[in-house]
Copies of this chain bind each other. A is one copy, B any other.
Amino acid sequence: MKRVLGIDPGLLHTGWAIIDVNGSEIKYVASGVILPPTKINLADRLAFIFNNVSELCDTFHPDECSIEVIFVNKNGKTTLLLGHARAAAITAVAVQNIPVFEYEPNKVKKALTSMGHADKEQIYKMLSILLPNAHPKTADESDAIAIALTHANTSKLMM
């Protein structure tokens, strides 16, 4: 059995999900959203994300972590800030010697729907079929579950 932590990072909301993978069986364990206080500066926001991801690792002891690759788009400043949040989350996992796997967004779509250009609704529908016990309340949580499942599928954790 392998336990996977999926992370959908963001400076405002960082979605997270824990799933257990055992052969072809996948079990939803938990998911949620890290919400830093709104009126704090960048450094304190990164520390908040780091501390919360560290706590998740201490609580759930994931074996591996899965996170999306990000690209610089037209709004470079926003992507750069997102990169900071992503780095704080990755660092929290990596300092605990938990391997981090990175997947491009179209890999996530393809792993879950067999379509590289599936829309969010198609992905969420597939999540509800694969993990009927998961009831994500936000898109951040759903995205974190999707990236965890992508790792389970892609890395052949499921056999």
Is there a chain B Cβ closer than 8 Å to A149's Cβ? no
Note all chain B residues with C-beta closer than 8 A to A51. 95
Count the A residues whose beta carbon is within 8 Å of the partner chain — how many? 31
Q: Are B84 and A90 in contact (CB under 8 A)?
A: yes
Interface centre among A41, A50, A95 (most CB of B within 10 A): A95
Is there a chain B Cβ closer than 8 Å to A86's Cβ? yes
A159 to B: closest C-beta gap in Å: 25
Given A43-B93, A46-B94; A76-B87 close (CB under 8 Å): no
Interface positions of A (Cβ within 8 A of B): 41-44, 46-47, 49-51, 70-72, 76-77, 79-81, 83-88, 90-91, 93-95, 99-100, 102
Question: Please, could you name 13 A-B residue pairs with CB atoms under 8 Å apart, sorted by A?
Answer: A43-B99, A43-B100, A46-B90, A47-B91, A50-B91, A70-B80, A71-B77, A76-B76, A84-B87, A84-B90, A87-B88, A88-B88, A91-B91
